[in-house]
Structure 1
Amino acid sequence: MNWSSAEIGVLAHAVSRAPSVHDTKPWSLEPRGDVVELFERFDVSLPRHDPTGRDRVISCGAALANLELAVRALGWDAQTALFPQPGRGDLVAQVRASGRAAVTELTSARYSAIFRRHSHREPFRLRRVPVRRLRALTGAASEPGVQARLIDPRTETAPLADLLEYAAEVLKDDRAYQRELTAWLSLPPGAAERTSLPWAGLVRRGTRVPDRITFASRLAQEGLLVVLTPDDTRRDHLHAGAAAQRIWLDAVAGGLVASVVTQPLHLPEVRAGLIEQLGLAGYPQLILRVGYPAEAVPEPVKLPVVQEEAR
Structure 2
Amino acid sequence: MSSMDANLKITERKLFTPTLEQIKDVISLALLKNFAEVSVEIVECPDLTKAPFTLAASGLGSTGTLIEIGGPAFLLPLAQKDKIYDIQYILKQLNFNENAFVIGAGAGPWPQLSRNCEMMMNLVVSPSELKNETRLAWVGNEDHCVLQKSERLDTRFAILANLYVSQGECGRVLKVHVKKRIGKLDFIATMQNALATHYKNQLVGLGGTFMLKNGKAKQHVMPDFSTTPLTTEKSLNEWLHFYEMAAPLIAVGTFVSSESDLDLRPQHFHSYGNDEGGHYHIDTTPETAEYLGYFNIANDLYRIDQPLTSVDFGKD
Category of TM-score, reference length = shorter chain: under 0.3
* Structure number having the greater strand percentage: 2
**TM-score normalised by structure 1 residue count:** 0.23
Q: Which has the larger radius of gyration?
A: 1
Q: Going by fraction, where is helix more abundant, 1 or 2? A: 1
TM-score by length of structure 2 reads: 0.23
Task: With a CA cutoff of 8 Å and minimum separation of 6, indicate the structure with the bigger relative contact order.
Answer: 2
